[in-house]
Amino acid sequence: MTAGPVRKVVVIGGGTAGWMAALPLAKLRTVGGAGLEVTLVESAEIGTIGVGEATLPPIRAYNATLGLDPVEFLRKTRATFKLGIEFCDWRRPGHRFFHGFGDFGPPLGQVDAFSCWLRHRAPDDTSSYEDWSMATEVARRNRFAPPDSDPRSPLGAYSYAFHFDAGLYAAFLREQAEQAGVTRVEGTVTEVALRPADGFVSAVTLSDGRRIEGDLFVDCSGQRALLIGQTLRVGYEDWSAQLPCNGAWAVPSESAAQLTPFTRSTARSAGWQWRIPLQHRIGNGMVFASDFIGKEAAREELLQGLDTPALADPRLINFTTGRRHRVWERNVVAIGLSSGFLEPLESTAIQLIIDGVGRLIELFPDTSFAPALAAEYNRRMHRQYESIRDFIVLHYKLTQRDDTPFWRHCAAMPIPDTLAHQIDLFRSSGRVAIYDPESFRESSWISLFMGLGAVPAHHDPQADALPPNVLAEYARRVRATVVASADSLPEHAAYIHRQLGTPAT
Ligand SMILES: Cc1cc2nc3c(=O)[nH]c(=O)nc-3n(C[C@H](O)[C@H](O)[C@H](O)COP(=O)(O)OP(=O)(O)OC[C@H]3O[C@@H](n4cnc5c(N)ncnc54)[C@H](O)[C@@H]3O)c2cc1C
């Protein structure tokens, strides 16, 4: 059979993943000068998971590439700005650190800022490397403005992402996708037809008998994994041994007096609690490991830990951390929760959706579905999943907490060899191994290591050649610039009101 173009794409699922996949496929990919015919099927009966409110900086490029209007986005999704994550009680109770997005000051000649800081620090010094992070300093002041586009400016040395209402974001994308020609079908898929010759999916049938045919199927059906799991039987690799949390209670609460430009993650007795401020409410949740705490006790701990009154009853979501053995199988590509889930810490699921869609567009097949394309897609997604897994496991593994069975378990649990190497490398030399250039950058790894108290024994020897007075003057200048620059920015809430043209309250 000769290969032809893939024209008909069917997306199963209308959650964040479904709409984040449908819109770029319709807008950015053409076949013979014409757009793809994209149909999205979603089931009102089944609904969506309805969480996923914090993002990472590449969401900005995703929105911009699709031509989404930034102010309309802000208004319609009730978004706020995110400069990073504040981690409370992770190293030990009462300790805080910040993972800010962006860099830590300019290099001094050939020597990077981190090596300079390590060299400059006196042995009994209690100052923090965070003091050189623009994002951290701006967040401490509850301020925000977008970074300067000139990377040489101190105000160009940080990055940001968003917090938004996941349901409103999906609705916003749906509006755009329908304008771009995506056909939305409401209904529940009850049957999947496979071609007898090769086992490729040829069509899905809805409960009312409607049949939808396609060349390529994108499985965005969430944890059900209707096509990749239930139909094609691609197995799931369970990572619970290294990521033991498997449940979450989610609850909205009233807004607080200060609109903070960061996510807060607070370690609790058998997991951790998130706090995500939106324009109109705060999203909260308790992520917990059911081997170490009962679900009612976890719910109670969440409610006790809220800083504003709850607006609804908490909702329970169960999950298993891990990933599919293959996320592209025959003519099915799994994107979103159907492809895997690494738990919400560090907000990586939407990032994996963005990269999953981007790679599908880049490696888009014809009807021959060359196995090498699927193999390359699977290779890249696997590498990213593993790199993110290591980053998340590090939060638990390096804890100094030993106050509950859960934290003692985390400190003692076996870790992947790649992460063991990463920890050895950092502890001995201050260097970081980047296994996946599309995942967390060196500055993020350093933030985390330092926040968790893993200070390197050695640094780049080039820093030893720097005279102490030159280093001292450089350190003074970096800190003074960070403080002065952060002071020059507006309040986070005031910046949002200015963008929306609404009066500050
Ligand atoms: C507790 C928790 C917190 C999270 N927090 C974050 C976060 O802060 N940041 C982040 O990036 N991510 C987060 N995530 C992940 C994020 O929620 C998901 O990645 C994202 O919402 C994508 O979900 P989805 O679209 O894959 O699945 P879903 O939202 O479950 O959507 C599945 C869709 O498939 C449809 N469907 C299913 N079966 C059928 C069928 N038979 N016929 C027709 N339609 C069907 C459903 O109706 C629905 O439309 C979190 C996840 C959890 C569990």
Tens of pLDDT along 400-426?
A: 999 999 999 999 999 999 999 999 999
Atom of ligand 1 nearest to the CA of 18: 25
How much distance in Å is there from the Cα of 48 to the middle of ligand 1?
Answer: 6
Does residue 32 surpass a pLDDT of 80? no
Tokens 């403080």 locate to: 483
Residue 370 pairs in a beta bridge with none
Task: Compute CA distances 98 → 132, 135, 332, 383, 452, whole Å.
Answer: 12, 9, 39, 26, 10
Average of per-residue pLDDT values in the chain: 96
3-class secondary-structure state, position 426: helix
Residue minimizing CA distance to atom 35 of ligand 1: 13
Atom of ligand 1 nearest to the CA of 56: 11
**What pLDDT does residue 1 have?**
61
Give, to the nearest 10 degrees, the angle between helix 349-362 and helix 58-65: 50
Residue to mutate, 49, 163, 302, 357, ligand 1, most ligand atoms under 8 Å from C-beta: 49
pLDDT tens-digit series, residues 161-214 = 999 999 999 999 999 999 999 999 999 999 999 999 999 999 999 999 999 999
> How many other CB atoms are there within 10 angstroms of residue 34's CB atom?
9
Does residue 351 surpass a pLDDT of 90? yes
Q: For 124-141, what is the mean pLDDT? A: 92
Residues 439 and 385 sit within 8 Å (Cβ to Cβ): no
Does residue 31 surpass a pLDDT of 80? no
Is the CB–ligand 1 distance for residue 461 below 6 Å?
no
Q: Which of 298, 308, 310, 272 is nearest to 85 (CA)?
A: 272
Is the CB–ligand 1 distance for residue 229 below 6 Å?
no
pLDDT class of 505 with cuts at 50, 70, 90: low
How much distance in Å is there from the Cα of 222 to the middle of ligand 1?
Answer: 5
Residues of the chain with pLDDT > 90: what percent? Answer: 93
Is the CB–ligand 1 distance for residue 47 below 6 Å?
yes
How much distance in Å is there from the Cα of 347 to the middle of ligand 1?
Answer: 13
pLDDT tens-digit series, residues 454-490 = 999 999 999 999 999 999 999 999 999 999 999 999 9
pLDDT tens-digit series, residues 80-125 = 999 999 999 999 999 999 999 999 989 999 999 999 999 998 777 7
Residue minimizing CA distance to atom 19 of ligand 1: 349
Q: Which of 304, 311, 231 is nearest to 266 (CA)?
A: 304
Is the CB–ligand 1 distance for residue 80 below 6 Å?
no
Active site residues: 82
Q: Which runs of consecutive H residues, i.e. helices, occur in 413-461?
A: 417-429, 442-451
Does residue 140 surpass a pLDDT of 90? yes
Atom of ligand 1 nearest to the CA of 190: 41
Q: Which amino acid is at 418?
A: T
Residues 164 and 53 sit within 8 Å (Cβ to Cβ): yes
Is the CB–ligand 1 distance for residue 228 below 6 Å?
no
Is the CB–ligand 1 distance for residue 460 below 6 Å?
no
Residues 43 and 129 sit within 8 Å (Cβ to Cβ): no
pLDDT class of 432 with cuts at 50, 70, 90: very high
Residue to mutate, 23, 48, 204, ligand 1, most ligand atoms under 8 Å from C-beta: 48
Residues 4 and 366 sit within 8 Å (Cβ to Cβ): yes
Q: Helix (H) and strand (E) counts for the chain?
A: 14, 23
Contacts by 464-470 with C-beta closer than 8 Å and gap 24+?
A: 464/119, 466/108, 466/109, 466/111, 466/116, 466/119, 468/120, 470/108
Is the CB–ligand 1 distance for residue 319 below 6 Å?
yes
The CA-based diameter of the chain, rounded to the nearest angstrom, is: 78
Q: For 335-364, what is the mean pLDDT? A: 97
Exposed/middle/buried for residue 36 (C-beta within 10 Å: 0-12, 13-18, 19+): buried
Residues of the chain with pLDDT > 70: what percent? Answer: 99
What sign has the CA pseudo-torsion 487, 142, 343, 456? positive
